[in-house]
Amino acid sequence: IPQAEPQPDAAFLRLRGLTKRYESGFIAVDNLDLDLPKGKLLGLLGPSGCGKTTTLRMIAGLASVTDGEILIGGDDVARRAPHKRDIGLVFQSYALFPHMTVAENIAFGLDMRGVSRQEARARVEEALEMVRLPGYGSRKPKEMSGGQQQRVALARALVIRPRILLLDEPLSNLDAKLRDDMRIEIREIQKRLSITTVFVTHDQVEALTMCDVVGVMAGGRLAQLGTPSEIYEKPASLFVAEFVGRANVIDCEIVGRDQARIGDQVYRSDTKGLSGGKAKAAIRPHRISLTPDRDRALVSNATNSARGRIARITYIGDIVQYEVEINGAMLKVEVPTASAGHGFGADDMLLCEWKPQDMLVFGS
């Protein structure tokens, strides 16, 4: 009897060959394929100009689709008018109408959809409660803080009970502390409503801390799609390794399976099946530990180690950054300040150690 294949989470939002060519001929989004399960939060992350906003605008219907499909719950909405897509949208600038009260702002989309006055009032109050602003309906936007205004914008997006929520850099106008709070708040609301959400950001911390799935974009394509830990621990390319988190990038040569040579030293690393050729190694600064030179005998054979000299020490609050010179190459090492009590000083000789799995090697 044939066994049924276990079904992965069915995708609720599906992009198929999604492409945007602007009139200038420039291809901003290039044949994008992506599946997002229902209730999940996807972060589109990438440098300026990589096409993340254009992708979001195509899903919303604010930019026309040159080619491809946008499936929401199985319906291709790629050629539907924006208001027929059941999408809630929040922008970076809250885009609230200043002359209207908070309640009128939130009710705006309901009026357009022909919802009765009475029902609108109940739904506005419900939306205000969702974003923890009950009773604020009669205020004007200017009488509220930036964070509160952004919550009103969120309430306005949610009040229409959208099938998909789209957030375009919603936190970038807020100061650092408020941004931290709003990350948690948006994530909680998204989880509570279990609403399928796409979040555009250029902030890697935001993408890693808030999202179920992160899509790293470069040049209109997906460089990698994965969970935050997959993206961070197993970057698919040097671009992803450098864009998400910091990395020391060093020229090396693969000289055998899982062996990479830097200068005249051979280190162990995952070479992903490659056994030769020029490559780049990426090592995250906080994945390197420092041992005083006199303790050389204590260094485990299971790790890689290199002898070097401290060229510079920079105190950055929670962490101390050491720049260690190893055979002319400079390696950045970060140690939590609380555990940096080695008493290392400039020009000290020491050993840098890192695990084979923390040396990411990318063939060229």
Q: Would you tell me which residues interact with ligand ATP (CB under 6 A)? A: 22, 24, 26, 28, 46, 48-54, 202
- Smallest gap, in angstroms, from Cβ of residue 162 to ligand ATP? 21
The residue among 47 and 336 lying less far from ligand ATP, judged by its C-beta, is: 47
The residue among 51 and 162 lying less far from ligand ATP, judged by its C-beta, is: 51
- Smallest gap, in angstroms, from Cβ of residue 5 to ligand ATP? 36
Q: What backbone phi and psi angles, to 5 degrees, belong to 175? A: -75, 165
The residue among 51 and 141 lying less far from ligand ATP, judged by its C-beta, is: 51
- Smallest gap, in angstroms, from Cβ of residue 242 to ligand ATP? 17
The residue among 50 and 262 lying less far from ligand ATP, judged by its C-beta, is: 50
The residue among 54 and 259 lying less far from ligand ATP, judged by its C-beta, is: 54
The residue among 22 and 315 lying less far from ligand ATP, judged by its C-beta, is: 22
The residue among 44 and 110 lying less far from ligand ATP, judged by its C-beta, is: 44
- Smallest gap, in angstroms, from Cβ of residue 228 to ligand ATP? 19
Q: What angle in degrees, to the nearest 10, is found between the helix axes of 117-130 and 176-193?
A: 120
Contact 272, 236 (CB under 8 A): no
The residue among 28 and 128 lying less far from ligand ATP, judged by its C-beta, is: 28
- Smallest gap, in angstroms, from Cβ of residue 233 to ligand ATP? 24
Q: For residue 102, which of 75, 78, 137, 63 has the smallest C-alpha distance?
A: 137
The residue among 54 and 303 lying less far from ligand ATP, judged by its C-beta, is: 54
Contact 308, 352 (CB under 8 A): yes
The residue among 28 and 211 lying less far from ligand ATP, judged by its C-beta, is: 28
- Smallest gap, in angstroms, from Cβ of residue 48 to ligand ATP? 3
- Smallest gap, in angstroms, from Cβ of residue 220 to ligand ATP? 7
Cα separation, 284 vs 310, whole angstroms: 17
- Smallest gap, in angstroms, from Cβ of residue 18 to ligand ATP? 12
Q: What is the 3-state secondary structure (H, E, C) of the chain?
A: CCCCCCCCCCEEEEEEEEEEECCCCCEEEEEEEEEEECCCEEEEECCCCCCHHHHHHHHHCCCCCCEEEEEECCEECCCCCHHHCCEEEECCCCCCCCCCCHHHHHHHHHHHCCCCHHHHHHHHHHHHHHCCCCCCCCCCHHHCCHHHHHHHHHHHHHCCCCCEEEEECCCCCCCHHHHHHHHHHHHHHHHHHCCEEEEEECCHHHHHHHCCEEEEEECCEEEEEECHHHHHHCCCCHHHHHHCCCCEEEEEEEEECCEEEECCEEEECECCCCCCEEEEEEECHHHCEEEEHHHHHHCCCCCEEEEEEEEEEEEECCEEEEEEEECCEEEEEEEEHHHCCCCCCCCCEEEEEECHHHEEEEEC
Closest residue to bound ligand ATP by CB:
53
- Smallest gap, in angstroms, from Cβ of residue 56 to ligand ATP? 8
Q: For residue 270, which of 282, 280, 257 has the smallest C-alpha distance?
A: 257
- Smallest gap, in angstroms, from Cβ of residue 96 to ligand ATP? 21
